[in-house]
């Protein structure tokens, strides 16, 4: 059974810092991995998707990497801003399956 773990559960950093969020999964037979953010009381916003054959994806100040063999992904946020404060979720789509398996999320707070 696929399990997804996110560390840390919560993180608070000053504005301007670069930071890394971690995601690990137990079964390397994945189709893709997505990173999302959720603001309080809102739906999920897709940030980046990495297909199983890819190593990383970049969008603006965000960079996500994928190491399938070790079952790890990281989300790197450069020059953090207060608007980056949210819960960040990683989710994997298992090969042959339809539904995503989510981590518990990292609650990020960027202090002005």
Partner 1 sequence: GAVVSQHPSWVICKSGTSVKIECRSLDFQATTMFWYRQFPKQSLMLMATSNEGSKATYEQGVEKDKFLINHASLTLSTLTVTSAHPEDSSFYICSAQTSGVKAQYFGPGTRLLVL
Report the interface residues with partner 1, using CB under 8 A: 31-32, 34, 36, 41-46, 49, 51, 91, 93, 98-100, 102, 104-105
Residues 58 and 61: their CA atoms lie apart, in Å, by 8
Distance of closest approach, residue 65 Cβ to partner 1, in angstroms = 17
Residues 93 and 111: their CA atoms lie apart, in Å, by 33
Nearest CA-CA partner of 23 in 59, 63, 76, 75: 75
User: 76 or 102, CB closer to partner 1?
Assistant: 102
Distance of closest approach, residue 16 Cβ to partner 1, in angstroms = 27
User: 69 or 98, CB closer to partner 1?
Assistant: 98
Distance of closest approach, residue 15 Cβ to partner 1, in angstroms = 25
Residues 82 and 65: their CA atoms lie apart, in Å, by 23
Distance of closest approach, residue 50 Cβ to partner 1, in angstroms = 10
User: 4 or 110, CB closer to partner 1?
Assistant: 4
Neighbour tally for 86: CB within 10 Å: 21
Residues 83 and 2: their CA atoms lie apart, in Å, by 32
User: 15 or 27, CB closer to partner 1?
Assistant: 27
């Amino acid at each position: 059974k696929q399990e997804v773990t996110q560390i840390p559960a919560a993180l608070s950093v000053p504005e301007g810092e670069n930071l890394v969020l971690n995601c690990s999964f137990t079964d390397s037979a994945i189709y893709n991995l997505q990173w999302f953010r959720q603001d309080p009381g809102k739906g999920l916003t897709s940030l980046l998707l990495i297909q199983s054959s890819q190593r990383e994806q970049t969008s603006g100040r965000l960079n996500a990497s994928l190491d399938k063999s070790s079952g790890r992904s990281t989300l790197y946020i450069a020059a953090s801003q207060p608007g980056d404060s949210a819960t960040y979720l990683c989710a994997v789509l298992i090969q042959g399956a339809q539904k995503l398996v989510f981590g518990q999320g990292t609650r990020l707070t960027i202090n002005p």
